Structure 1
């Protein structure tokens, strides 16, 4: 078997466990020096390949790589950069192949969500037509948990744990003050089109009346009167109302409650964030209740200190499995997590063509009849994903995370304008 080098890159919004996947990829590759040569990491995702900014991971000690397992964010840098279709931007794809050829790269591992799996699929296609075959393995990662086929996406379990714990603790705070102070608390969480993260807030509930009392999903159109009636009922019944709202909460015509038309991300999506104050002002104006709100934002996806052990373990295993698939000669696949009947987890190679640009939404069977909570089926799905603790090491009261220097490999090609 010819020894080929590998290229690994992180894409999109980072998570508390994406570095655990990087750790799995690099450690597994180091176990096969006669099959995989140098593992290069792309500096800032796919941009690192286009700009020929490659990081030779051999410069890092085994201890540094092992520390990635408990370090949040993207150790090599990530990006929001969507490659257009091959017809629209053939030059970019040709540039990728040129860089891979120049550095003798035969394996491409792209760690990301829907758009990233699409990129890996397209690279596998054009590499064949250009006569320089690349084995492309997508590796799942997204806190939104919206990739098809895989049972869940690495990154989601830890966010789910953070959201459930945070709303539980904040609601205890509100409950203790509601007699003479705040009546309503709103926590806004990520989730543009899929309400998986918001749904996780329901795991804080242990018995009837426990917070959160209302969950707003993108899958359920927002009904102003129904919402205000529910808020009023909760305050009158429990003394307060605790709410988890997805950033993608929208009205019946599809309009987001909070979206800046002037601000879009690299993928052309409206920049969301701000549904919590919209709801808070609505409640204040219509019901007169004092409120507080919080935007979980980056805190929810970077909270490695409270990560789910299930999430960490399977993120790492996804990296290992990607190497295994590559060595087996598989191409244009993604290691998809499978929930087994015995409570264990496994993987299957899922075709990238069936994953690219496909979003998985919360099934109706997981959402309660009134649209403000989850069913037992939803709870049964979510609960295993937040199990176990996997604390990072601490020194002087602070977690210890590794920070890798980005010393770049010398370039062999001319610069490329993106």
Structure 2
């Protein structure tokens, strides 16, 4: 079997553990040097492939690659760049194949969410039509936890841990000030259509901590009167209340409360600013003093308190991607299969990309409390194992000692240029 090179790229919003998946890919590929030659990474994701701006990971030491396991962000750069449909954007896909052919790339590993799953499937389909042998494997990654089939998505567990901790600590803070000052703490979290991250805030309260929480999910239409009544009731009973609000909360008309009026490159509505809106509603409607915070990038970059489960699973899907490719699988995605809740056990499976692309997994109604403002025991049982364990990075001078790669460029072989 001829030795061929591999291409790996990171796509979309990064996570605290996407580099752990990269580590899994590269370390595993190095173990199969008799079948896989060089692993090239796309500088700034798929854009690097289109512009033939490739990174030679063979120039990195084993120690540097190992350091990716505990380093946040996207080590090779990511992007939000949507490839068009096969016919409409055929030139883009043909360019990818042209670059892959020039660098003898036989393996394509694309690490991202739903849009990248669709891209990976289309690249696989076109390569087959063009008669170019290419094995395309999608590696799951999304903090939103909205990919289908896989039990959960690498990146989510660490965000869930961050939000659960932040909600817990913020609640302790506001509780101490409630008698004479602030009574409401509002934290805005990511989640456009799925409320998985918001649900994680519910873990702050348990049988040992009776913390008053109100959670606003994208899956539950926002009812202002019902919401204010719930908050008022919490304050009457506890003296304070913490509110976890997903950025994707919608009104009864189906419109986002925080619609900024602009679209991103994927055609998604640009969101942000729902926390101050909710705080204003509470202040004006109930007269309570509020403080609010937007977790934003902090929730997805907090590698210092990443979930050990999440780190292990992120590495495992990267490793599995290479192994699936070497088994001859194509147009598939490694998945996490939960085999037991208590004790928590999981294994790696795989799914066809045709069943993954353009499918969004939302919170099931049985995970949301009857009043629509909390989580159920079933949701708690699902979430808790995903935030379990600590996997601290090494520290130097009081700060995490994260890795910065050389990211040496691969010499270009094509004379043609491609504008993106």
TM bracket, shorter-chain basis = over 0.9
Q: Deviations over 1:221-274 (max 9, x none)?
A: 00000000011111111000101000001111111111111x221101111011
For residue 83 of structure 1, what is the aligned residue in structure 2?
83
Residue correspondence of structure 1 range 318-357 to structure 2 within 5 A: 318-341=317-340, 343-357=344-358
**Counterparts of 1:320 and 1:39, CA distance in 2:** 13
For residue 392 of structure 2, what is the aligned residue in structure 1?
391
Residue correspondence of structure 1 range 206-221 to structure 2 within 5 A: 206-207=206-207, 210-221=210-221
**Counterparts of 2:56 and 2:137, CA distance in 1:** 19
Residue correspondence of structure 1 range 5-404 to structure 2 within 5 A: 5-207=5-207, 210-261=210-261, 263-341=262-340, 343-404=344-405
Whether the 8 Å contact between 1:124 and 1:133 is mirrored in structure 2 is no
Whether the 8 Å contact between 1:151 and 1:339 is mirrored in structure 2 is yes
Whether the 8 Å contact between 1:201 and 1:212 is mirrored in structure 2 is no
Q: CA deviation at 1:343?
A: 2.7
Q: Specify whether residues 320 and 208 from structure 1 end up closer, same or farther in structure 2 by C-alpha distance, changes over 3 A only.
A: closer
Whether the 8 Å contact between 2:217 and 2:245 is mirrored in structure 1 is yes
**Counterparts of 2:274 and 2:281, CA distance in 1:** 11
Q: CA deviation at 1:286?
A: 1.0
Runs of 4+ with >2 A deviation: 207-212
Q: CA deviation at 1:405?
A: 2.3
Whether the 8 Å contact between 1:251 and 1:257 is mirrored in structure 2 is yes
Deviates more, 1:185-194 or 1:209-218: 209-218
Q: Deviations over 1:95-138 (max 9, x none)?
A: 00000000000000000000000000000000011110210000
For residue 415 of structure 1, what is the aligned residue in structure 2?
417
Secondary structure of 1:409's counterpart equals coil
Whether the 8 Å contact between 1:259 and 1:273 is mirrored in structure 2 is yes
Whether the 8 Å contact between 2:57 and 2:408 is mirrored in structure 1 is no
Secondary structure of 1:191's counterpart equals coil
- How many residues end up aligned between the 2 structures? 417
Q: TM-score scaled to structure 2, two decimals?
A: 0.98
Q: Specify whether residues 303 and 253 from structure 1 end up closer, same or farther in structure 2 by C-alpha distance, changes over 3 A only.
A: same
Whether the 8 Å contact between 2:142 and 2:155 is mirrored in structure 1 is yes
Deviates more, 1:405-414 or 1:113-122: 405-414
**Counterparts of 2:289 and 2:404, CA distance in 1:** 43
Q: Deviations over 1:49-84 (max 9, x none)?
A: 000000010000000000000000000000001111
**Counterparts of 1:117 and 1:273, CA distance in 2:** 25
Whether the 8 Å contact between 1:212 and 1:244 is mirrored in structure 2 is no
Whether the 8 Å contact between 2:82 and 2:115 is mirrored in structure 1 is yes
Q: Specify whether residues 58 and 208 from structure 1 end up closer, same or farther in structure 2 by C-alpha distance, changes over 3 A only.
A: closer
Whether the 8 Å contact between 2:215 and 2:244 is mirrored in structure 1 is yes
Whether the 8 Å contact between 2:212 and 2:240 is mirrored in structure 1 is no
**Counterparts of 1:270 and 1:18, CA distance in 2:** 24
**Counterparts of 1:371 and 1:204, CA distance in 2:** 17
Secondary structure of 2:111's counterpart equals strand
**Counterparts of 2:135 and 2:367, CA distance in 1:** 37
**Counterparts of 1:215 and 1:187, CA distance in 2:** 10
Q: CA deviation at 1:208?
A: 8.0
Q: Deviations over 1:128-160 (max 9, x none)?
A: 111102100000000000000000000000000
Q: CA deviation at 1:209?
A: 7.2
Whether the 8 Å contact between 2:212 and 2:234 is mirrored in structure 1 is no
For residue 405 of structure 1, what is the aligned residue in structure 2?
406
**Counterparts of 1:210 and 1:166, CA distance in 2:** 16
Structure 1 unmatched runs, 5+: none
Whether the 8 Å contact between 2:3 and 2:35 is mirrored in structure 1 is yes
**Counterparts of 1:3 and 1:208, CA distance in 2:** 57
Structure 2 unmatched runs, 5+: none
Q: CA deviation at 1:373?
A: 0.4
Q: TM-score scaled to structure 1, two decimals?
A: 0.99
